[in-house]
Structure 1
Amino acid sequence: MANFILLLAILCFHSAYSKSAPEIYKQFDWINFTFSDPIVASQYVSQEEYKNCMPAGIKVNSNEDVFVSIPRWKGCWPATLNMLFYDKSINKTLFQPFPSFEGNEINKSYALQSVLGFEIDLDDNIWALDQGRVNNVAIEGGMKLNKYSKNGTLIDHFDLSNVTYPEYSFLNDLVLDSTGKFIYITDSGIPINTSNPLRPALIVINLANRQIVRVLENDTSVMPDQSLWITINHQRVNQDSPMETGADGIALSCDKKTLYYTPLTSRTLYAINTKVLQTATSQSNLSEYVIKLGYKLSASDGLICSQNGHMYLTALELNAVLFQSDITPNAENFQFNVFSPIVNSSKLIWPDTLGFNNVGKELFIVANQLQNFMAGTINFTNPLNGDSNFYIWKVYVNDRSYLEDCITSSSGGDEDKFPVWAIVLVVVVVLVVVIIAVCAVRNYMQARKKRKTFL
């Protein structure tokens, strides 16, 4: 009996461990779409348009539908925002345009032109941030934020032309405070003409009064680090000159009081109180309110905070996703060595963006070899990176998105604080100890009885 319970304890421990181990959710040699017209599908392949398509952003709704963005930095005419669709007839996962092929039509300002960052709120509405550029050409009226219902109906639209520059703005990512009715956006400020200077900034949208302001333009906290040359797998990104990208990764604390952000070309994390941003005007000087938290081991692309008050961030130079518990906007408490890897793999080349599956308490990650894609060195016929070019990973983290309310110690008895499997494991171990003790006592008593009988 004791052996059986011990075996059960081992199985429980193994189950708990394997549940938190990262796994490859999907992998692609190249991206294909749910074309309804076979002629169009054939043209897409014959013209090798798939070589212009790279997955980037990822989010998951409450039905566990997975959405992925494909920014049109090289073209990719079928669609820029998609939902993954598994086609049983061909045993492949395809990209299904959202809201439709027509809703992704190039050179139509009302349609999505190039989406990198997007968010799905707790009501499954999709907030798509449109960069308004296709193949490095600005589309008039293209820079915008569209809000869609889960069935693809356009609910709201924000024109960002008054707070962006067609030739300079590179709208990167966003976070949503649905309670306070604010949205925060990073503009990396990458100019179309690379001989021009960068103009990065943060953008704040007040959803209640629809006011939009651009803040911290060219502040040190949003500018790239001129001394950093990002290196991946011992190779410099961009052989001729360092990659220069301003404010990129952005994360909002679950209490919605702190905004975290970092330039891509930087190993420094910054923070600012959202109250300062919410009352700012375009003339406000906010530099004194920026908190320089410190060094974070690697240049990062995507950042995300969680319901448990944790931060997850991509580490481009380490082929990893890092984790820090109890992130706070306090530079004195910020320690680079508390970041620990939750995913680390040679197949995790350029971990780009992060998204929670709140139902499964999983973190999804897109790894897309961005530096190789932009350099045109990806082999779409015989992938050089493992057995595929693009990977979507997932890892069980027992955590949910920052969009959920924070979990605090006063919330009491939540399974997120002490998982069910851990309770079962503790009970099993206690039972094993008790049974071993009972058996030991019984054996002792029997031995003593035999000794008395012999005497």
Structure 2
Amino acid sequence: MVEMTMLKCSLVVLTVAICHHQVFAKNKALGTLYRWKQIDFAYPTDDERQEAINFEEFIQPNVITLGIERWKERIFLSTPRWKKGVPATLSSLPLHSNDESPLLEPYPSWDWHNAENCTGFTSVFRMAVDHCGVMWVLDSGQVEAFETPRQLCPPTLFAINLETDSVVGKYPIPNEFVLQNSLITNIIVDSRDALCRDLHVYIADAWRFGLIVFREEDESFWRFSHYTFYPEPLLSNYTLHGLNYQWSDGLFGMSLGKFQSGDRPLYYHSMSSSLEFVVSTAVLRDSARVSDAVGEFRLLGESRGAEGQVSAAAVDRNGVMFYNLISQDSIGCWDTRKPYQNNNLDIVARNNKTLVFPNDLRADHEVPQKLWIVTNRLPMYQFNLINPEEYNYRVIYLDPIKAVQDTICQPSIPE
């Protein structure tokens, strides 16, 4: 996963040159909800905030936004504890605010971020909300990964009821499925009925190239390994705005396709790769298939090319996949009904100022549906090159229907 690969990367060029501002968005479908130069939190009092600063419990340049979700009138953001001085790792924001850089409200309360002995949150990476209003939270259990990594707690799934703002489930991933140097980075929720029964969560391990499955019904886990989860060597070298670096991140982005003959596909890719793959979720949901499913993981189609690295992806209700092209300051699209080949791929937005490193992307459950993107200049953050006088972190929304109008991704089959 892009985020923690700092431990595996080497910096070759330290000159960061922001190029001439290029802006492009299909049909004005893209907008910025919030933006920050640096992240700040809503402390109970100014004195408590100052005390946190004095004791280096809050070091503002060390805070970065990473994961995003939306449920009804709220946005949820994660701020992993990759460096010292991150006071809270999961926060909420109102969907509407008069402040373009609002304070983050630790969620569900400050108590969950100050807890000890692994009873609260340690370092949240990403979240996924099911259609019943439960947010599944992936906590890595690791702190200071960009400095001196410490695994304080096991990687854990939390379930939070967003109607009551209460934690209703806590599921540590068993040690047998977390390998040495595992980086548990991303999750996606697969639920099949109106009441969210028969729910599974798919979890990506970017450094040890595995896909972990959680079944809520009996709280069980299992793990798939496959060669398609590995990075491509030549795609592990990145150049972004004059900064050259190496990340060897494997399985990362996952998105669920529409139901087909009673099942649905899981599309997936490694971060450091230009290839997309697919597997039936019927395979993933069957723990008995762990040892005999090698042939079920298939290449989807053509390569995206030399700058085709993708972080997160999501498929909207119309069957269109949107994905973050992190080396191109862009968001791409593909109609999943069409073959995965370059003449069926398109760009719906490009902006080398506001879309610098689009990291997470989620489709909400609202009508009409929106996509939500976090951009965070992660490589610059990793190497302490963030300019506090510029806007570095953004929450961006995308109208998926407007975005694909008059593109090759516009669905030809009415829904």
Task: Please give the TM-score of this superposition, normalised by the length of structure 2.
Answer: 0.80
Q: Which amino acid aligns with 1:98?
A: Y
Over the aligned positions, Cα root-mean-square deviation in angstroms equals 2.8
Contact 1:224 1:264 in 2 (8 A): yes
Q: Give the residue type in structure 2 aligned to 1:182.
A: H
Whether the 8 Å contact between 1:113 and 1:142 is mirrored in structure 2 is no
Name the stretch that deviates more: 166-175 or 32-41: 166-175
1:201 corresponds in structure 2 to: 210
1:89-113 CA distances to partner (integer Å, 9 max, x unpaired)?
Answer: 9874111111111112365412111
Per the alignment, residue 297 of structure 2 pairs with: 290
Deviations 1:296-340 (A, max 9, x none): 241011111121111111001111011111357xxxx22123221
C-alpha change, 1:379 and 1:166, in structure 2 (3 Å) is farther
- Inter-CA distance 96–279: structure 2 relative to 1 (3 Å threshold): same
1:64 Cα deviation after fit: 2.8
Structure 1 Cα separation of the partners of residues 159 and 150 of structure 2: 21
In 2 relative to 1, CA 87–77 (structure 1 residues): closer, same or farther, beyond 3 Å? farther
1:265 counterpart SS class: coil
- Tell me if 1:22 matches 2:59: no
The alpha-carbon distance between structure 1 residues 208 and 23, as it changes in their structure 2 partners (threshold 3 A), is same
Query: Which of 217, 239, 242 in structure 2 is aligned with 1:235?
Result: 242
The match for 1:340 among 346, 355, 359 is 346
1: CA distance between counterparts of 2:50 and 2:382? 25
Name the % identity.
21
Structure 2: runs of 5 or more not aligned: 1-24, 193-197, 403-410
TM-score (norm 1): 0.74
Q: Counting strand residues as a fraction of each chain, which structure ranks higher?
A: 2
Q: CA deviation at 1:82?
A: 0.8
CA 1:79–1:295: 2 relative to 1, 3 Å: same
How many residue pairs get matched? 365
State how far apart, in whole Å, the 2-side matches of 1:368 and 1:259 are: 26
- Aligned counterparts of 1:369 and 1:327: Cα–Cα separation in 2: 33
Instruction: Report the CA distance between 1:233 and its aligned residue.
Output: 3.8
Structure 1 residue identity aligned to 2:248? E
Query: For the residues of structure 2 that align with 1:372 and 1:145, how far apart are their CA atoms?
Result: 29
Q: Which runs of 5+ in 1 are unaligned?
A: 1-16, 190-198, 400-407, 411-415, 418-455
Task: State whether structure 2 residue 170 is matched by structure 1 residue 157.
Answer: yes
Distance 1:314 1:92, change over 3 A: closer
Contact 1:324 1:338 survives alignment (8 Å): yes
Question: Which structure shows the bigger proportion of residues in helix conformation?
Answer: 1
Larger radius of gyration between Structure 1 and Structure 2:
1
Please list, as runs of the form range in 1=range in 2, the aligned pairs for 1:183-202 lying within 5 A after superposition. 183-189=201-207, 199-202=208-211
2:385 match: 377
Give the deviation of 1:76 after TM superposition: 4.1
Report the residue type matching 1:320 in the other structure: S
Pairwise mapping of residues 24-423 of structure 1 onto structure 2 (< 5 A)?
24-45=32-53, 47=56, 49-61=59-71, 63-85=72-94, 92-105=101-114, 107-136=116-145, 137-150=149-162, 151-165=164-178, 167-179=180-192, 180-189=198-207, 199-216=208-225, 219-233=226-240, 235-238=242-245, 242-255=246-259, 257-281=264-288, 284-293=291-300, 294-297=302-305, 298-327=308-337, 333-347=339-353, 348-357=355-364, 358-380=366-388, 382-383=389-390, 388-398=391-401, 417=415
- Counterparts of 2:270 and 2:99 in 1: how far apart (Å)? 41
Q: What's the offset of the Cα at 1:29?
A: 0.3
RCO higher in structure (CA 8 A, sep ≥6) = 2
* Structure 1 residue 186 displacement after superposition: 0.6
After TM superposition, the structure 1 stretch with the greater mean CA deviation from structure 2, 118-127 or 71-80, is 71-80
Contact 2:33–2:100 (Cα < 8 Å) also in 1: no
Contact 2:375 2:395 (8 Å CA) reproduced: yes
When structure 1 is superposed on structure 2, of 134-143 and 69-78 the one drifting more is: 134-143
Shift in Å, 1:276: 1.2
1:275 Cα deviation after fit? 1.1
Give the AA of the match of 2:66.
Answer: A
